[in-house]
Amino acid sequence: MHIAVCLCQVPDTASVIDFFEGALDLSRVNGVMNPFDEYALEEAVRIKERFEGSQVTLFCIAPSSAKEMLRKALAMGGDRALLFSTTEPADTFQTAGMLSRAITDYYGEVLPDLVFCGKHSTDFQSAQVPLMLAELLGMESVSAIIKLEASRAGIHVEREIEGGIESLELHYPALFSVEKGLNVPRKTTIKAVMEARKKPIDLLPVTLSESSCVTITSIKPFVREKKCRVVQDPKELVLLLTHAEALF
Amino acid sequence: MNTFLVFLEQREGVVKKSSIDTWNRAQELAALHPGAAVSALLVGPASTRQLDGCPGGNGVIYHANEEAFRLYNPEHYTRLVVETMKRVAATTLFFADTALSRDLAPRLSVRLKASLLTGCAVDDAWGENGGGCCQRPVYSGAAIASFAPCRPLKIYTCTPRASRISSPITSGARASVVVLEPSSSTSEELFPLVRRMAMHEGVRDVAEARIIVAGGRGMGRAGFGLLEALARLLGGAVGASRPVVDEGWRPHAEQIGQTGKTVAPALYLACAISGAPQHLAAIGSAGIVVAINCDPHAPIFDVADYALVGDVHLLLPKLIEEFREFLKKR
Ligand SMILES: Cc1cc2nc3c(=O)[nH]c(=O)nc-3n(C[C@H](O)[C@H](O)[C@H](O)COP(=O)(O)OP(=O)(O)OC[C@H]3O[C@@H](n4cnc5c(N)ncnc54)[C@H](O)[C@@H]3O)c2cc1C
C-alpha cells in the first residue's frame, strides 16, 4: 500500500508565546511535530507493518528547519520525507492546495491508497486542511477518527460525535484525519534513530496557485481580566453561585 | 445584500440546542444589518414542533425530512447544502461548531469556493471592517486572532456563547417551515457511509453541557464518584484533564484541553486540576470558573472567578450537601 502522511510543525507546548512591540514573536519558540500528526503517523506505520510492501511517505510544508522533526518521523517508521520549503502558504486553503499538488506530483496518475493527517494543528486548531485536501484530491474521507480497521476490500472507521459514536464504511483511496485515542504512538529506539539517518529527506519545490480565502487581520496577546475571589467554605460558594451569579 | 443560511443539525430527530443558538445569533446579526435575511436548512427527519416558538425571528426553515438524511452522510449532505445555498442565494452559511460541521464545512468550502472560518465567536463585531470578521483564541489561548474572509461566500462554525444559552428571540415573528421535495440523488449509495450511530446512554456531552464538573489527577480514580454525584445533582457533565484520561479513569470523550474538547459552559468547576496551559486553552470561553485545589499557587486560580483552597475529598462532599440543601429549599 502507498500511504501518505501530512505532517506539520507547531510550537512546543512548553514554549512561551511572546509579543514584541505588539507583534507576535515566535523567535524563542521550539518547533515540534503536531501531537495529532503523531497519531496519524503511528496509524500509517501500523498499517504498513500489516500489509507487506507498503511505503509510508511524509509530506511537510514548513521551513527547512523542520528537517529535525522529519528525522524523528522517519525514526517512527516513515520511509521517506518530502519537505516543501519554497513558499509559505497564507491560509488553510493554500496549504491544502499545495499538499494536493505535492501528492499528485509525487504519486503521478494513481492516488496513494491512504492519506493520514492530524485532526488539527494545536497552534491554530482550524481543522480545515485534511478534508479540504481530500476534496481537492477527490478522495473519500472522514475526519477525527478514533478507530480504524483496514482490510484489502475496504475500511471501517469510528468517530466521536457529541454524546455518541458514528461507524463509517468507505473505500480506497481514502483520507483520514486522526483524533487522540486512535493509538498510542511508539517511542523511538536508538536503532530506529540510527536507521532514520539513512532515509532520504528531499527538499522539493511546490507551486502556490490558489489565492487565499481567509486573512488574519491581527494577532493580539490574550489578556485575562479575571479577578479571583477566595471563598471560605462550600456554603459561601453555593451562596455566591446561586445568588450573586444567579446560576441556578 | 446578505442572505444567511443556518444549518440546523438533528441527532435522533432532535434539533441540537447549539443549532438553535446559532439561528438566534444569525437573527440578531440580521437585525443589525438592514437588508439581511435569514433562512435555515434542517437536515433529516425531526419534529419541527420542537422549533415552535423557539427560534423566533423571520425567515423560512427548509426541512429536508427524508429518511436518507437521518444519519449523517457527507456527500448527500454536501450536495443538499450546495443546492440550498443556490436556491436561497445565500452569501453566508452558519453552522454550530460540532463534530458534524467540522467534517462537513471543509468539504463545502472547497465545493463552494467559500471562505471557511471554524470555531469562531461570531459577535456583534461581525459586521465591522467590511464584514464577516471573527475572532478566536490561538496558540493554546495565549493569543487572540482576528480572521477576515476574502471570498464572496463565507462559512462559519460558531462556538457557543457562555452567557446566553439559546435565549429565544421574542420578537413575536415566526419562522415558517417549508418541507423540501425529496431529492433524486439520495437513493444513490454514497461513501463514506455511516452504518451506525450509537449514543451513550444517559451521558451528557461535555461540549454541550451548561455546567461542567471537571476533575484532574488530584481526584484519584475513586474521587470521580463525587464529581458524578455533583454533576447529576446540577444537571451537568463530568469533564477530565488529560492525565485522568491517559490513566484510563475516564473516557477520552470527556477530555478537556488542547488535545481534547474546547468548552464554553456557563459554570466550569475545576477540581484538583492544576491549570496547565494546554488545559486552560480550552476553557477560555467558560462563564464562571470555580477552582478547588489544595495548592494556593495553582495556576488554575489565575483564571478562576472563585477559589476554594483545600482538599477536594473533604470539600466536595460538603459542597454536594450545600447544593442539595439549596435545591431542596428552592
Ligand atoms: C502536547 C500536549 C497536549 C496536552 N493536552 C492536554 C489536554 O488536552 N488537556 C489537559 O488537561 N492536559 C493536556 N496536556 C497535559 C498538561 O500539560 C498537564 O500535564 C495536565 O493538564 C495536568 O493535569 P492535572 O491538572 O489533572 O494534573 P496535575 O498537573 O498533576 O495537577 C493536579 C492538581 O491537583 C491538585 N491536587 C492534588 N491532590 C489534591 C487534593 N486532594 N485536593 C485538592 N487538590 C489536589 C494539585 O495541587 C495539582 O494542582 C497536554 C500536554 C501536552 C504536552
Residues B240 and B92 in one domain: no
Kindly determine whether residue A162 and residue B284, on different chains, have CB atoms separated by under 8 Å.
no
Looking at the 3D structure of chain B, how many domains does it have? 2
Is B141 within a domain?
A: yes
Give residues with Cβ within 8 angstroms of B77, minimum separation 6: B43, B69, B104
Residues B253 and B286 in one domain: yes
Residues B170 and B245 in one domain: no
Going along chain A from its start, the domains and CATH numbers come out as 2-215 (3.40.50.620)
pLDDT band at B167 (very low <50, low <70, confident <90, very high): very low
Is B203 within a domain?
A: no
Is B200 within a domain?
A: no
Residues B308 and B171 in one domain: no
- Helical residues (DSSP H) of A155-224, grouped into ranges: 190-198
Kindly determine whether residue B315 and residue A181, on different chains, have CB atoms separated by under 8 Å.
no
Torsional sign, CA B30, B31, B34, B39: positive
pTM of the model as a whole = 0.93
- Buried/exposed A161-189: b ≥16 CB within 10 Å, e otherwise: bbbbbbbbbbebbbbbbbbbbbbebeebe
Query: Is B299 an 8 Å CB contact of chain A?
Result: no
Helix%, strand%, coil% for chain B, nearest 5? 35, 30, 35
* Residue whose CA lies nearest to ligand 1 atom number 8: B257
Kindly determine whether residue B137 and residue A143, on different chains, have CB atoms separated by under 8 Å.
no
What distance, in Å, lies between the first and last C-alpha atoms of chain A?
A: 57
Residue A18 has a CB neighbour count (10 Å cut-off) of 15
Q: What is the CATH number of the domain that holds B248?
A: 3.40.50.1220
Kindly determine whether residue A167 and residue B194, on different chains, have CB atoms separated by under 8 Å.
yes
What pLDDT is recorded for position B165? 41
Torsional sign, CA A159, A165, B191, A153: positive
Query: Is A68 an 8 Å CB contact of chain B?
Result: no
List Cα–Cα distances, B200 to A217, B197, B300, B330, in angstroms.
Answer: 41, 10, 30, 31
Query: What string of H, E and C letters represents the secondary structure of A46-108?
Result: HHHHHCCCCEEEEEEECCHHHHHHHHHHHHCCCCEEEEECCCCCCCHHHHHHHHHHHHHHHHC
Residues B142 and B229 in one domain: no
What pLDDT is recorded for position A225? 72
* Residue whose CA lies nearest to ligand 1 atom number 49: B274
- Kindly identify which residue of chain B lies nearest to residue A23, measuring between CA atoms: B143
Q: What number of CA atoms fall less than 13 Å from residue A138's CA on the CB side?
A: 5
Residues B183 and B215 in one domain: no
Task: Scan residues 86-105 of A and list those with Cβ closer than 8 Å to B.
Answer: 92-93, 96
Query: Is B180 an 8 Å CB contact of chain A?
Result: no
Q: How buried is residue B170: exposed, middle or buried, by Cβ count under 10 Å (0-12/13-18/19+)? A: exposed
Is B204 within a domain?
A: no
Reference A15, options A161, A127, A123; nearest CA is A123
Q: Can you tell me the distance from the alpha carbon of B315 to that of A247, in angstroms, rounded to the nearest whole number?
A: 20
* Residue whose CA lies nearest to ligand 1 atom number 38: B218
Domain range for B237 is 211-329
pLDDT digits (tens, 9 = 90+) for B263-275: 989 999 999 999 9
Is B202 within a domain?
A: no
Q: Can you tell me the distance from the alpha carbon of A14 to that of A8, in angstroms, rounded to the nearest whole number?
A: 17
Residue A223 has a CB neighbour count (10 Å cut-off) of 6
Is B142 within a domain?
A: yes
Task: Establish whether residue B207 lines the binding site of ligand 1, counting it when its CB lies within 6 angstroms of any ligand atom.
Answer: no
- Kindly identify which residue of chain A lies nearest to residue B235, measuring between CA atoms: A248
What pLDDT is recorded for position B210? 92
pLDDT digits (tens, 9 = 90+) for B277-301: 899 989 988 999 999 999 999 999 9
Q: Which is more confident, B278 or A74?
A: A74
pLDDT band at B63 (very low <50, low <70, confident <90, very high): very high
Is B201 within a domain?
A: no
The distance of A244 to chain B (nearest Cα, Å) reads 11
Q: What is the CATH number of the domain that holds B107?
A: 3.40.50.620
Partners of B148 on chain A (C-beta within 8 Å) are: 214-217
Residues B110 and B223 in one domain: no
Residues B22 and B62 in one domain: yes
Kindly determine whether residue A211 and residue B150, on different chains, have CB atoms separated by under 8 Å.
yes
Residues B222 and B148 in one domain: no
Query: Is B151 an 8 Å CB contact of chain A?
Result: yes
Residues B183 and B249 in one domain: no
- Among A92-106, B9-23, B96-110, the least confident range: B9-23
Q: Which three cell numbers stand for residue B66?
A: 427524508
Mean pLDDT on B4-15 = 95
Task: Establish whether residue B79 lines the binding site of ligand 1, counting it when its CB lies within 6 angstroms of any ligand atom.
Answer: no
Partners of B326 on chain A (C-beta within 8 Å) are: 238, 242, 248
Give the distance, in angstroms, between the CA of residue A6 and the centroid of all CA atoms in the same chain: 7
Residues B226 and B318 in one domain: yes
What pLDDT is recorded for position A22? 87
Residues B118 and B161 in one domain: yes
pLDDT band at A117 (very low <50, low <70, confident <90, very high): very high
Task: Establish whether residue B140 lines the binding site of ligand 1, counting it when its CB lies within 6 angstroms of any ligand atom.
Answer: no
Give the distance, in angstroms, between the CA of residue B69 and the centroid of all CA atoms in the same chain: 21
List Cα–Cα distances, B166 to A37, B20, B56, B83, B123, in angstroms.
Answer: 36, 6, 11, 28, 15
